[in-house]
Structure 1
Amino acid sequence: MSTTSTRPPVLRIVDLSARIGAQQVVESVTLEVPASGVTALLGRNGAGKTSTIKAVLGLIERSGVVELDGERIDTLPTHKIVQRGVGYVPEDREVFASLTVEENLRLAERDAKPRRDLVGDLFPDIIARSQQAAGTLSGGQQQMVALARALLNENRLLLVDEPTKGLSPKLVEEVTDALERASQVVPILLVEQNLAVARRLAKDAVVMADGHVVHVGDAGALLDDEQRVVGLLGVGTASPDSTSHSASHSASHPTSDSTPDREVTT
């Protein structure tokens, strides 16, 4: 994978396979996440992106090697992986709706000195609503709470799944800004259907199809190649200066009969 970092990868996955019940959802996935910046995990719906993240966390049955900073974590239960410094922002946010914003944040605190200043700087609107029940927030505000919970602790890696899904253009911009700033302090593996957001944030890209990795490389080079994007994702690229609109309605509207490029590039 192309990266300017000379440090070893923060996350290394080798021959990862996973299943949900009897269904194989990830098969022989190998990838690395550099120790800085954003790595975009792209693919059509059903490609195995979310399942890969859940497999890394041990949320679904898995086999293969998963290393965090050179240390194997694939034998550990989920709570031990989180304690090792892996933050998770799930696709459906999973805030505690009946609890206040402050209570949601306090429950997420793992470190003796949580990074309250960083969270307050990134999400002033959320802090201003600290006594409001999280379930009464807008979808975008709940996404901010989910991101804030992950950033409270000194994590070594963030796994962020579809953070802009279903948000208004204004909130997409705000979430993207927050992720861009967060990536300056912690590396991020980002599942994102909005290609304009991926273009703005990511240095590296991994593309999945049918549970396999089919492309690895520089994110900008991939997203600037209209033909490759159409072949791999079934959508057109978005303009580089727009993070508020997805490319050709984004990859959340896949062209199911397009054949993905099965050649993995390095």
Structure 2
Amino acid sequence: MTLTIEGVHAGYGGGTVLHGVDLTVPEGTALAVLGMNGAGKTTLVHTIAGLVKARSGSIRLDGAELAGRPAHRIARAGVALVPQGRRVFASLTVAEHLGLSRRKGEWTVPRVLELLPRLGERRTHRGNQLSGGEAQMLAIARALLTQPRLLLLDEPCEGLAVDLAARVRGVVAELTRTGLTVLLVEQQPEHARAVTDRLVVLSNGVITERGETSTEGVSEISMFR
């Protein structure tokens, strides 16, 4: 499903974080949003998911307006968020996480475990017994079981060792090959280039650059100005 954002302003309390953001993620493609800490990346995905209310502008999924809807209705419309920091429940086992998230659809528990076999080995382990990489895989699995049409990933490689980050990138790349529409938030251009088709740079709540991930040098300089 195509995501279209036009003129979105959003923020917290009396402050504005996003200043007229425009972007499009065509169906079955992956877009990376790059930026430094404080650029507004998390605010953007939270606004799409309905956790932050857009003050103005439009957020549409295949033409259906999402802006102004509560978060649970946006989730039912097919938007799933993999939050920054994983946020798995410490006291619940992997199997319990998967059971709570499951909805009827193409993504079943066996299919998720085929994509993420390590979780199958850890089904009886609680959230606080998982490594950072395993917890990230569980957060992705949990999102997939809600049957998303649009997957929002907020810095999924943050805090992971190089080999674990590579595994997460591999999973994201596989998801894009299934035809899922993906919006990936990242600080590191190399992570974005490995799994996305296009990228934008967000700086102080404004998109300052757009490009193809195959283009050498795109956004690596402007991102850190």
Which of residues 30, 47, 56 in structure 2 aligns to 1:38? 30
Distance 1:47 1:20 in 2: 14
- Flag the 1:61–1:96 CA change in 2: closer, same or farther, 3 A: same
Picking from 8, 21, 34, the partner of 1:16 is: 8
2:210 equivalent to 1:216: yes
Deviation of residue 118 (structure 1)?
Answer: 2.5
Q: 1:144 aligns with which of 133, 137, 144?
A: 137
Q: Distance in 2 between matches of 1:21 and 1:184?
A: 39
The structure with the larger Rg is 1
Q: Answer yes or no: is the 8 Å Cα contact 1:15–1:65 preserved in 2.
A: yes
Contact in 1 for aligned 2:102/2:108 (Cα 8 Å): no
* Residue equivalent to 2:223: 233
* Per-residue deviation, 1:139: 1.0
Q: TM-score, normalised to structure 2's length?
A: 0.94
Does the CA contact (< 8 Å) of 1:115 and 1:153 recur in 2?
no
Pick from 122, 143, 149 the counterpart of residue 129 of structure 1: 122
Alignment-derived partner of residue 181 in structure 2:
187
- Distance in 2 between the 1:125 and 1:207 partners? 33
CA deviations over 1:16-56 (Å, ceiling 9, x no partner)? 01111122111110110111121101111111111011111
Shift of 1:190: 0.2
Question: Which residue identity does 1:56 align to in structure 2?
Answer: I
Distance (Å, rounded) in 2 between the aligned partners of 1:35 and 1:112:
19
1:78 aligns with 2:71: yes
Query: Does 2:98 correspond to 1:108?
Result: no
Root-mean-square deviation (CA, aligned residues, Å) is: 1.5
Equivalent residue runs for 1:166-177 within 5 Å: 166-177=159-170
CA distance in structure 2 between the aligned counterparts of 1:97 and 1:80, rounded to whole angstroms: 26
Q: Decide whether the 8 Å contact of 1:164 with 1:194 is kept in 2.
A: no
Question: Which deviates more from structure 2 when the two are superposed, residues 155-164 or residues 114-123?
Answer: 114-123
Write the letter of the residue equivalent to 1:159.
Answer: L
Deviations 1:187-212 (A, max 9, x none): 11000122212111111111111101
The number of equivalent residue pairs is: 223
The correspondence for 1:157, drawn from 150, 166, 180, is 150
- C-alpha distance after superposition, 1:210-256 (max 9, x if no partner): 101111221221xx126x521x112xxxxxxxxxxxxxxxxxxxxxx
Corresponding position of 2:195: 201
**Greater relative contact order (CA < 8 Å, ≥ 6 in sequence):** 2
Give the alignment's TM-score, normalised by structure 1: 0.80
Give the Å deviation of 1:117: 3.0
Q: For residue 95 of structure 2, give the secondary structure of its aligned residue in structure 1.
A: helix
CA distance in 1, matches of 2:194, 2:147: 24
Q: Give how far 1:115 is off.
A: 2.0
Residues 113 and 172 of structure 1: CA distance in aligned 2, closer, same or farther (over 3 Å): closer
Where 1:110 maps in the other structure, the secondary structure is coil
1:198 is paired with a residue whose SS is helix
- Structure 1 gap segments, 5+ residues each: 1-8, 235-257, 259-266
- Structure showing the higher strand proportion among its residues: 2
1:111 CA drift (Å): 2.1
Paired with 2:105 and 2:28, the residues of 1 have a C-alpha distance of 24
